[in-house]
Amino acid sequence: MSKGVKWVAAVWMTSLLGCAADIDDSAETSSSALSAPPASNGGMKQRALPRKPARAVQSRGLIPDQIIVKFKEGTRVRLRSGALRFDPGALVGNEQAILARNGLAAAKVASDVAAANALLGQAALDRHFDRPEPDLEREKALGEANTQQELADLNLYYTAHVDSRAQSALIDQLNALDSVELAYAPAIPQDAWADVPPATPVFTANQAYVNAAPVGM
């Protein structure tokens, strides 16, 4: 997936839900519906959290050898030297309070991150949104100030490149960790340019606004 497509998707998901999830149309994944908690944090509306599916569901529309892992807000998990790292001393702002709200102690997060590293030991790990971490943090703070609602920390999303034969089992094991908000297989990107019958009419001749003034702009 191109960087541009991922960034547009990130802006859309952050503003609406603050999380990314692929929802299958089967009954087993219907439990991943979002629950919206009440406003808190000085009047700021809390993010809606996804319910983890009971188990991973394979689909031809999903990339078979990748897993997106989103850690819970407040954990401040970062990728360092190819491995996931949690430093409780690096928590800033209200991250400690968010951890407490999520029922997570620092020791539990450290244990879960160690378990995630063990599960993904043979996988290549990348930051899912690869723009500089400070840029994403600054934009998150600005968005929260403007909307008065919590937004997702895009630095908590990671892409793991895994053996397709182990994907489902790894997703289930990662979702079993309390510090993981959601692990899921990403959708296969689809081109949006294809037309279907009947052909869409062409109206470019009517776009006079693209001409020079005074007829256009």
Pairing of strands 157-161, 66-71: antiparallel
Distances (CA, A) of 182 to 56, 103, 154, 208: 11, 16, 13, 48
Report which residue type is found at 61. Answer: G
pLDDT tens, residue by residue, 89-148: 999 988 999 999 999 999 999 999 999 999 999 899 999 999 999 999 999 999 999 999
Q: Residue type for 131, please?
A: R
pLDDT for the residue numbered 42: 61
Where b means 16+ CB within 10 Å and e means fewer, 99-125 reads bebbebeeebbbebbebbeebbeebeb
pLDDT at 204 (0 to 100): 86
pLDDT tens-digit readout, 17-34:
343 334 343 334 333 334
* Residue 79, pLDDT above cutoff 70: yes
Please state the rounded mean pLDDT for residues 78-83. Answer: 96
Q: Band of the pLDDT at 211, cuts 50, 70, 90?
A: confident
User: What ranges do the domains of the chain cover?
Assistant: 3-29+49-189
- pLDDT, residue 199, reads 87
pLDDT at position 58 over 90: no
pTM for this one?
0.72
Cα–chain-centroid distance for residue 188?
A: 15
